[in-house]
Amino acid sequence: MKWMAIGLFIAALMVGAGFLLTETGSTRNISPSAEAIKLCEVGSDQVQSFKFAEGAQNLEMALELDPSLAEAAISLANVYWRLGRNDDYKVTVAMADSLTSQIANDDRRMLAQMRLGVRHKSRFNGMLDSLMIQLEKSQPDDIHFMITTAQRLGEAGLYEEQFETWHHILEKNPNYAEAYNRLGYFELNRGHYQESIEHMKKYAFLAPDLANPHDSLGDVLMVIGQYEEAASEFRAAVALQPDFHFSYINLGKSYLYRGMLKSGTDIMNQVQDMVAGSELGLSIDHTLMFTYLEMNMVSEIEQTTLNYIVNYPDHELSPYFRSIRLAHMDKMTESQALMDSTLTAWRSHEMYHASKNSRNNVDMAAKRYEGYMADLADQPSTRVRKWGSLVAYMQDKIPAHDQWNARLKLARAYMDNAEPLQAQEQIRPILEANNRLIPALILAVRTDLALENIPQARQALEQLKWSIQQSDDAFYARQTAAMLEERVVDLEGNS
């Protein structure tokens, strides 16, 4: 599972939500109730497997048997957050905070404080650095400490060190399935697609009864344009776990990428009804918006953006989208004023100063806004400069496939500025990774036409036509392909 959001201030998952309560081979008791310990272990393991409802039930039962079991309260708080049960979450976090302070054993207490500390709403967050220093001395090989270390390295943008830490975790526990999932996404983000697939297959081998390995493998396959194979993985995930909403979301996305809008949005709407009011509902709207942005589906972007503003008026991203809508309404002054105040608020947030990733996300959002505004009001040369600034900034900060939308925007600006060779440079690596990405194929035909590369234009056009063969009749790319066909035929007739 991979969250579908740009993550400006979206909370990270609570590290260790699903880890076992004792290390392998340990006989350390953490509760006078053996049944409570067992229920807590089972519930935590279910959380790690994204079986939230079952995990919540077992963790609640564990706390009924032993109301002092801090580990159960910590895991349960995370489940409540994931399920959108905000009131229960706040109460349980407070309970976990109190119980953690009462743990007598130093090592156990510090580990529990560490788990709460990775959440910025916990008072232990301010102690996290000192906790990590102490745990590094007393329990450097504790797998839970290493998991937290891996997350913090990622937040700091130290991805190679994070990669090494996940490998170190596998050295300690070769059967720690989640490590293969993390390494799979790491390789995906580096553009090493075959290596990513191999890690995901190992993940599935170690966790054959779980939905998430299929979902993760589907994520990789979807990036490289194997949409049908990805859809099969998502279906396999929901067959194993019918309430695995992430795969329903991804299945819908696999249809959208093929231009099968009705099928895709129908699935999204069904899942939205199931998870209304939870973080998953927000994730679905993010997925729709960023998929439409990547596919350059203007009318769908406008409607989905409006829905987002209405449904999430207090979310940190709503002012951003409102400012873009104001610009589309030709209210440029109001748009810029709102964007300026939004950026000021984001940059005053504690996360902006505490997290390198948050700073990067905010600064990229600012540059993206400038690109959008240039598309609406400026000359092509200015658009090239604005989108080029964003592409240069994001190169070493986010995965290659997450840069594709900005590169496509830059390529369109280059084309409008009569620079087809430069446009080709932007779309070439995209098509090398995914030769079915429809907006990139449209640009490939356009650039070859501009350069009068007739055989290449025909080849790109045929690939485009094949890629949209399953799309809805009203899908915009069908009309675009028809117009491009006329231009290619004209050139072929004149050659």
* pLDDT tens sequence across 405-434: 999 999 999 999 999 999 999 999 999 999
Of 60-74, 181-195, 198-212, 271-285, the one with minimum mean pLDDT is: 271-285
The answer to whether the CB of 449 falls within 8 A of the CB of 491 is: yes
pLDDT above 80: residue 24: no
Q: How far apart are CA 132 and CA 137, in angstroms?
A: 9
Domain(s) labelled CATH 1.25.40.10 in the chain stretch across 1-125, 316-494
Q: Which amino acid is at 296?
A: N
pLDDT surpassing 50 at residue 5? no
What is d(CA 364, CA 352) in angstroms, rounded to the nearest whole number? 13
Q: At 202, which helix (H) or strand (E)?
A: helix 193-206
pLDDT score at 9: 31
The three-point CA angle 288-294-295 to 5° equals 85
Token pair in block for residue 98: 């109190």
Q: How far apart are CA 164 and CA 323, in angstroms?
A: 41
What the block records as the tokens of 400 is 């290659």
Residue 447, CA atoms < 13 Å, CB-side half-sphere: 24
Instruction: Share the mean pLDDT of the chain.
Output: 87
Residue with tokens 């964003």: 390
Fold of 316-494: 1.25.40
Sequence-distant (6+) residues with CB within 8 A of 479 are none
Tell the CATH superfamily of the 1-125 domain.
Tetratricopeptide repeat domain (1.25.40.10)
What is the rounded CA–CA span in Å between residue 193 and residue 444? Answer: 23
- DSSP assignment of 365-417: HHHHHHHHHHHHHS-HHHHHHHHHHHHHHHTTTS-GGGGHHHHHHHHHHHHHT
Rounded to 5 degrees, what are φ and ψ at 50? Answer: 65, 25
Q: Confidence band (pLDDT; 50, 70, 90) for 457?
A: very high
Closest by CA to 397, choosing from 423, 369, 358, is 358
Residue 291 has pLDDT above 90, yes or no: no
* Per-residue pLDDT reduced to its tens digit, 311-347: 888 888 889 889 988 988 899 999 999 999 999 999 9
Please tell me the pTM assigned to this model. 0.79
